[in-house]
Amino acid sequence: MSTRAAITGMGMLTPVGRGAEEVFHALCVGKSGLSVPAADHPAADSVDVGGFVPDIDPRTVVSGPAASVVDKTVVLALVTAAEALADAGIEVGRDVDPHRIGVIVGGVGGMAMLEKQVLARGDRGRAAVSPYLLTGILPNMPAARIAITHGIRGYSASIGTACASGAQAIADALRLIRAGDADVVVCGASEAPLFPTFADTFGNARALARRWPDPTAASRPFDKRRNGFVLAEGAAMMVLERVEHAEGRGAAAYADVAGWGATTDAHHPTTPRPDGSGAAECMRRALASAGVEPSAVGYVNAHGTSTKLGDIAETAALATVFGADGPPVSSTKALTGHMLGTSGVVEAAASALAAARGVLPPTYNLDDVDPDCPANHIRTTPRTEKPGFALSNSFGFGGQNVSLVLGDASTANKRNG
């Protein structure tokens, strides 16, 4: 049985666009998705700049009275999962046994709707709280509603490893397929953090980018002038498929997920180990899982959130694993902002497409590299070179580290893009 799994479908709704092709193009040409919030947006008083996606009427994906209290995380997850399955050409029951397909979704859960209901209770009393609230906000609801909608009867889970949760969902999907417990897994993350209380906690911690007249300049990973990350929303789902299963149905693949690594810093709730040792070990484990040497990696999509300590620690980790003359590195969060768990899925997709197509997106806004962040940075324009394997990093609060190794598709039918 293969140690890799093919990515046969993608669905994305991000600040820079919708769908894999539109998103990857935006990341390569420098289309920013960052903007000042509209005056009537709930987070208008909480963030100077954010990454926003269009509102989708919940009634288009959830029926009945529950639609009035379903969180945006659930709505975005349902939309992108449907797009990923359609992109893969999979109908459950026709193309895969319902018990041989799973669903794993990461994210912080539906806290925006919870906030609204708490405020409603304060204003109007207990009767204002909807009996459908729990099924609109529980962390397992994105995965559960995807399963219900598509008749998925195999393994189902929700992942809560903060900003690493989307990458963790992909890693767990690969583990599930390698173990022989599934032929197909829908995996990804959905996040909708742009509401007052959640944004205010970051703002009061001085973690968010601030005082940038041009919102598109606010996210600047590894740049000397960076002063925080840009909070963003979005969802992204992949269809991960056992290579033999994909070949058996003649499916085209974007790329393969070749390996994964996961570690915990055990250091601090919010700050990484300064020497990046936890992240370095995570990357080593991902390479070992993929069975490749560090020299085989020709591109790294960094976690690179545009925070002072995080960017320095990750750069140190990269130097530990790859040496001073390591592979080309970029952070696409300069354009998307930080979509929390969803970022890891979008960045894994970007890494997969970079590996398959030989186009490496740059880090935009990297005008003056911080001397404490030395690396082989891709700046200003994409590089055209076949990277062999690509590595994507995702690091979350609590010291959660996940790295993924991605490569060109080993399946007979490849998407050429």
Residue 1 in this model has a pLDDT that exceeds 70: no
In the set 150, 338, 373, 377, the catalytic residue is 338
- pLDDT tens digits for 301-355? 999 999 999 999 999 999 999 998 899 999 999 999 999 999 999 999 999 999 9
Residue 411 in this model has a pLDDT that exceeds 80: no
Helix axes 277-290, 308-322, angle to 10 degrees: 50
Residue 391 in this model has a pLDDT that exceeds 90: yes
Average pLDDT over residues 262-278: 96
- Decide: 16 and 29 in contact? Cβ < 8 Å: no
In the set 28, 150, 187, 303, the catalytic residue is 303
In the set 28, 150, 163, 245, the catalytic residue is 163
Active site residue 150: no
292 token code pair: 């490749």
pLDDT of amino acid 334: 98
- For the chain, percent helix, then strand, then coil, each to nearest 5? 40, 25, 40
Please indicate, yes or no, whether the overall pTM of this predicted structure exceeds 0.75.
Answer: yes
pLDDT of amino acid 109: 79
Active site residue 99: no
Average pLDDT over residues 7-28: 98
Residue 80 in this model has a pLDDT that exceeds 80: yes
Triad 262, 311, 204: Cα angle to 5°? 100
pLDDT of amino acid 255: 96
- Decide: 291 and 260 in contact? Cβ < 8 Å: no
Active site residue 303: yes
